[in-house]
Chains A and B, each alone.
Chain A
């Protein structure tokens, strides 16, 4: 061992804490909210196209009454 590297535990802890407490910008929040709306729009479209249409047929309603 030619050079001995000695640790600096206080700086390590301080820098690690800074990493964990990075603020989230308004732009980031707006971007995530925009994508969230996009996801909800797509999910609603899928749900609408997935609705069972067969129950609306007249034959079915008749058989259901019997």
Chain B
């Protein structure tokens, strides 16, 4: 065990697992896979979408996540929805007339983002610091300023974020939990923080990655799907870990 598998190799990999008698009931998805599925500008959107639809769905492989996946998914869409909303609000065609100082605050951060997009190929999404910088002058304008910011959040974020969360249910992703009756057979041992720390400290990967690999170790699930090279490096450095499946290009660049 402990392989990094390309998307293009998945059919033969799956046949090999089945021939060896490995039960391929499900897989763990990294949060970046779910975000990429849902957001077209992401670099691997089409490849990931095709993979989930044609390889996982068609082979009736159920999808699992760890607890922090929904948080990562909603956090990305919080920033995306606010970016798109605030940029729309100050667009010349917008019928919204925000106070000049607030418009300037949005424009300033939008220019920084635009530079990042054009020079570094970054995705058009404000980071948390930029959103805080935009919010600041609203809160410096007393109760009316706070009311204005809250209204913008209500218009651009509230319903949309709830709908994004509900859309996630269509993906039928289940949280891996030792305490769910219908998952008891999936677990072979208890998930512990000690094991996650062991995996993290092996090559210093982030905890969300370590938690995925640790959860995989504690279940009968044979592989995870990710877009994060950290997961691949962990698996490459530690032959006791299970497999990770990734787009070809990412594996080629390791």
A residues in contact (CB < 8 Å) with B? 1-13, 15-16, 18-20, 22, 24, 28-29, 31-33, 35-40, 42-43
Q: Say whether B38 contacts A13, CB under 8 Å.
A: yes
Q: Mark B183-204, 1 if CB is under 8 A from A, else 0.
A: 1011000000000000000000
B residues in contact (CB < 8 Å) with A? 25-26, 37-38, 49, 52-53, 56-57, 60, 62-63, 80-81, 84, 89, 95-102, 141-142, 144-145, 147-148, 151-152, 155-156, 159-161, 163-164, 166-168, 170-174, 181-183, 185-186
Residues of A within 8 A of B152 (CB): 32
Q: Say whether B155 contacts A32, CB under 8 Å.
A: yes
Q: Say whether A1 contacts B25, CB under 8 Å.
A: yes
* Known contacts A13-B49, A39-B145; is-contact A1 B182 (Cβ 8 Å): yes
Cβ-closest 9 pairs across A and B: A19-B163, A15-B167, A5-B172, A16-B167, A12-B170, A11-B170, A12-B171, A38-B144, A39-B144
What is the minimal beta-carbon distance from B7 to any residue of chain A, in angstroms? 15
- Distance, CA A62 to CA B36, complexed state (A): 69
Residues of A within 8 A of B151 (CB): 28, 31-32, 35
- Distance, CA A53 to CA B84, complexed state (A): 43
A24, A28, A39, most chain B CB atoms within 10 A: A39
Main SS at interface, chain B: helix
- Distance, CA A18 to CA B164, complexed state (A): 9
Main SS at interface, chain A: helix
- Distance, CA A10 to CA B172, complexed state (A): 12
Q: Say whether B37 contacts A12, CB under 8 Å.
A: yes
Q: Say whether A19 contacts B164, CB under 8 Å.
A: yes
Q: Say whether A22 contacts B49, CB under 8 Å.
A: no
Q: Say whether A6 contacts B186, CB under 8 Å.
A: no
* Known contacts A6-B57, A15-B163, A20-B160; is-contact A35 B147 (Cβ 8 Å): yes
- Distance, CA A37 to CA B84, complexed state (A): 23
* Known contacts A20-B81, A20-B84; is-contact A7 B167 (Cβ 8 Å): no
- Distance, CA A12 to CA B163, complexed state (A): 10
Q: Say whether A12 contacts B168, CB under 8 Å.
A: yes
Q: Say whether B148 contacts A39, CB under 8 Å.
A: yes
Chain A residue at minimal CB-CB distance from B186: A1
What is the minimal beta-carbon distance from B164 to any residue of chain A, in angstroms? 5
